């Protein structure tokens, strides 16, 4: 007890000193220690965006223990800001970036620290496949040739190969089209340099872009904003350049020559390029028109002219009787009372309406048929989105309409998703098809490729479809 009497006063003094130095706590209040807030974690695929191309950006948001977290996601630094809700920890956006730099992905969720991730916007691949007829192959360095498909990318030092009856179109980063004829081998050096090891290609260079060059053996063809055809025989070392529009410079160690529209030059081995000569360019590039892309439509309008061509310019006087020479590959059997009817294309503006009876030279049997504008094959998917936060995506099991144009009438079209058969349908007389089908409930979230292949024509076109959300179980 004596010791207890001595200890208690000391303890009371120490307690009073401690209380004087401590902050006052209101009655009934509970002091909480600050705990660090768990931060969200972001995963984005692909891990980079190609400049100038549409990309499906898939964002996954997770928390502690890699658990999916429902979060609000925004994407900045692209052409238009994208926002949505990662309902089950994942959300997909279709984005497009026209400038190099970074896209910023930002995610927030109640009770968690926000997360930010930068996705680099980099130059797109040098070349990608734009169209295929009856197949093609892609050969990467130190690899075996792989089957090519629409949308496949060709990087530096990749080969694009076509076999018998195969055709393909490649699109460079600046929009220039490189069409490949059958039995052709080209090597992609970069977006502006192509080497042809054998076969034939047609180059449609976009106006205003940098100069494009085609190498064959020891010769080089360089051009800017023009269209020309190149044929190269690796055995005979014969390099033939035919210019459709603009002007092309053909060079080797012996000489450099300029070839204008409608002309052709030939280089054999190490010999100097031949003097340019006029040729019928329509025959040279007739094969290009069978490709399902825009090359044929962007050719100069006078490349495939109508068969009736006026050789003089009438003055449009009411009494004028012009003499016209017409060239026609189809023929007509005229009767004694028949007066051939022609449509004259002239540079004169008539000042009066008159009846003109032209004198013609015909190789006759039928009324000339005007050249039809080719219908370019297309494919599209139509659907009513059931995902308000992501209107560009469909739910597994959702019914969509897959349609196309420009195919061969009455042919069967095979529709696949990532290579697996989805549906078949028959093309109508006008070259169109439409198929109502459901996306399989087992399809995983993400970006998928829908492909339509004409079983007779060999035309193959693809488009992208984003799948996201809770499956519809039938």
Answer with the residue of higher pLDDT: 208 or 379: 379
Q: Give the confidence band of 6 by pLDDT, cuts at 50, 70, 90.
A: low
Q: What is the pLDDT of residues 42-71, one digit of tens each?
A: 999 988 888 777 788 899 999 998 999 999
Mean pLDDT of all residues belonging to the chain: 76
206 Cβ neighbours under 8 A, 6+ residues apart: 174, 175, 176, 225
- Nearest of 433, 432, 431 to residue 423 by alpha carbon: 433
pLDDT of residue 267: 95
Give residue 80's pLDDT. Answer: 86
CA pair distance 413, 440, nearest whole angstrom:
19
Is the pLDDT at 294 greater than 80, yes or no? no
Name the more confident of 265 and 3: 265
Mean pLDDT over 441-458 rounds to 85
Mean pLDDT throughout 377-382?
84
Residue 248: its pLDDT value, please? 92
449 contacts: CB under 8 Å, gap ≥ 6:
149, 151, 417, 418, 419, 462, 463, 464, 465
% pLDDT > 90, the chain: 30
> Cα 437 to chain center, whole Å?
25
What contacts 24+ positions apart, CB below 8 Å, involve 341-346?
A: 342/308, 343/308, 344/310, 344/314, 345/306, 345/308, 345/309, 345/310, 346/310, 346/313, 346/314
Residue 265: what pLDDT?
Answer: 95
Residue ranges of domains in the chain: 41-122, 127-298, 378-467
Say how far apart CA 149 and CA 129 lie, in whole Å.
7
pLDDT at position 460 is: 86
Q: Reply yes or no on whether the pLDDT at 318 is more than 60.
A: no
378-467 has CATH 2.60.40.10 classification: yes
Instruction: Say whether pLDDT at 316 is over 50.
Output: no
Tokens of residue 346, six digits: 């002239």
Say how far apart CA 366 and CA 210 lie, in whole Å. Answer: 47
Q: What is the CA radius of gyration of the chain?
A: 34
Q: Would you say residue 165 has pLDDT above 50? A: yes
The pLDDT of residue 73 is 94
400 vs 432: CA distance, rounded Å: 17
pLDDT at 50: 80
C-alpha dist (Å) from residue 280 to 244, 286, 287: 10, 11, 14
Domain 41-122, classified CATH 3.30.1490.270, yes or no = no
Q: Locate 238 and state its tokens.
A: 């014969």
Per-residue model confidence (pLDDT) at position 310 = 31
> b or e along 133-159 (b: 16 or more beta carbons within 10 Å of the residue's beta carbon)?
bbbbbbbeeeeeeeebbbebebeeebb
* Residue 67, pLDDT score: 92
Question: What is the model's pLDDT at position 287?
Answer: 92
Is the confidence at residue 24, as pLDDT, over 80?
no
The span from the CA of 34 to the CA of 249, in Å, is: 74
* 7-16: average pLDDT: 47
What average pLDDT does range 259-273 have in this prediction? 93
What's the CA gap between 461 and 417, in Å, rounded? 12
All residues at 6 or more sequence positions from 277 whose CB lies less than 8 Å from its CB, including other chains: 263, 264, 265
Domains 127-298 and 378-467 share a fold: no
Q: Which two tokens stand for residue 123?
A: 């130059």
Q: What CATH number belongs to 127-298?
A: 2.60.120.1440
pLDDT in tens, 67-114: 999 999 999 999 888 899 998 899 998 888 888 899 999 999 988 999
Q: Give pLDDT tens digits for 354-374.
A: 444 444 444 444 444 444 445
Sign of the CA dihedral running 92, 93, 96, 101:
negative
CA distance 244 to 260: 8
458 exposed, middle or buried (CB, 10 Å; 0-12, 13-18, 19+)? Answer: middle
**What does the pLDDT average to over 394-419?**
86
Task: Provide mean pLDDT across the span 196-204.
Answer: 94
pLDDT for the residue 233: 94
Per-residue tokens: 433: 């098809």
CA distances, 390 to each of 20, 248, 399, 445, 449 (Å): 60, 48, 17, 13, 18
> For the CA atoms of 239, 240, 243, 248, what is the dihedral angle to 10 degrees?
30
pLDDT of residue 164: 94
Report pLDDT for 150: 86
CA 273, CA 82: separation in Å to the nearest integer?
A: 55
In the block, residue with structure tokens 């659907």: 383
Q: What number is the average pLDDT over the span 225-246?
A: 92
């Amino acid at each position: 007890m004596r010791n207890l009497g001595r200890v208690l006063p000391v303890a009371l003094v120490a307690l009073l000193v401690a209380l004087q130095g401590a902050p006052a706590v209101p009655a009934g209040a509970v002091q909480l220690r600050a705990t660090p807030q768990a931060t969200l974690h972001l995963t984005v695929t692909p891990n980079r965006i190609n400049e100038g191309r549409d990309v499906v950006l898939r964002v996954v948001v997770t928390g502690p223990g890699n658990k999916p977290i429902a979060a609000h996601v925004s994407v900045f630094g692209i052409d238009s800001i994208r926002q949505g809700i990662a309902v089950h920890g994942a959300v997909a956006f279709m984005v497009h970036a026209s400038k190099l730099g970074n896209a910023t992905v930002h995610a927030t969720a109640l009770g968690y620290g926000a997360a930010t991730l930068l996705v680099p916007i980099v130059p797109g691949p040098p070349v990608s496949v734009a169209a295929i007829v009856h197949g093609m192959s892609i050969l990467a360095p130190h690899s075996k040739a792989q089957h090519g498909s629409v949308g496949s990318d060709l990087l530096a030092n990749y080969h694009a190969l076509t076999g018998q009856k195969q055709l393909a179109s490649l699109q460079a980063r600046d929009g220039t089209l490189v069409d490949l004829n059958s039995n052709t081998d080209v090597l992609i050096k970069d977006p502006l340099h192509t080497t042809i090891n054998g076969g034939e290609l047609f180059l449609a260079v976009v106006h205003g872009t940098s100069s494009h060059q085609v190498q064959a053996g020891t010769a080089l063809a360089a051009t800017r904003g023009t269209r020309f055809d190149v044929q190269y025989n690796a055995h005979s070392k014969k390099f033939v350049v035919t210019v459709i529009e603009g002007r092309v410079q053909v060079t080797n160690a012996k000489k450099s020559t300029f070839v204008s529209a409608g002309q052709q030059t030939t280089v054999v081995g190490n010999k100097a390029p031949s003097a340019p000569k006029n040729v019928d360019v329509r025959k040279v590039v007739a094969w290009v028109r069978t490709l399902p892309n825009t090359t044929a439509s962007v050719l100069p309008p006078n490349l495939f002219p109508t068969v009736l061509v006026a050789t003089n310019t009438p003055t449009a006087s009411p009494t004028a009787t012009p003499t016209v020479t017409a060239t026609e590959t189809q023929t007509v059997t005229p009767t004694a009372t028949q007066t051939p009817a022609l449509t004259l294309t002239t540079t004169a503006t008539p000042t009066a309406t008159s009846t003109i009876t032209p004198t013609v030279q015909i190789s006759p049997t039928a009324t000339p048929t005007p050249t039809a504008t080719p219908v370019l094959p297309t494919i599209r998917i139509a659907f009513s989105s059931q995902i308000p936060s992501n209107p560009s995506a469909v739910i597994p099991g959702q019914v969509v309409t897959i349609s196309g144009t420009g195919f061969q009438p009455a042919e069967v079209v095979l529709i696949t998703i990532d290579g697996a058969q989805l549906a078949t349908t028959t093309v109508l007389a006008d070259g169109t098809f439409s198929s109502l089908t459901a996306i399989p409930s087992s399809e995983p979230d993400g970006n998928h490729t829908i492909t339509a292949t004409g079983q007779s024509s060999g035309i193959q076109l693809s488009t992208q479809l984003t799948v996201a959300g809770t499956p519809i179980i039938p």
